[in-house]
Amino acid sequence: MALMINDDCINCEACAVECPAEAIYEPDENRNAKAKHSAPISNEHFYIVIEICDECSGLNKVKCIAVCPMDAIKVISPVNKLTKKR
């Protein structure tokens, strides 16, 4: 399981403030995952770095999903997201 912020995001920052793993980045913000510095995933809205996100492990709910006013954070399968069609 993985989380993704879709284009319904209005950049309110509620998700980033609530993220205990600090896995949510602002648009255009460079990310650091597993000691690697990388280019932003999105230039238009906040995004979740799946290598950092632990889906609020140990908590009773996924905080970013709970606070998003636009229901813009969705659960996805990382295999489906990363698999190329041939």
Q: Sorting pLDDT into bands at 50, 70 and 90, what band is 81?
A: very low
Rounded distance between C-alpha atoms, residue 61 and residue 68, angstroms: 13
> Average of pLDDT values for 26-45?
77
Provide the CA 73 distance to its chain's centre, in angstroms: 8
The pair phi, psi for residue 48, each rounded to 5°, is -105, 130
Provide the CATH number for the domain around residue 28: 3.30.70.20
Rounded distance between C-alpha atoms, residue 13 and residue 67, angstroms: 10
Query: Cα separations (Å) of 65 from 44, 73, 86?
Result: 19, 6, 33
- Quick one: DSSP state of residue 65? H
Q: What is this structure's pTM? A: 0.80
Q: Give the number of domains in the chain.
A: 1
Q: Which domain holds residue 21?
A: 2-82
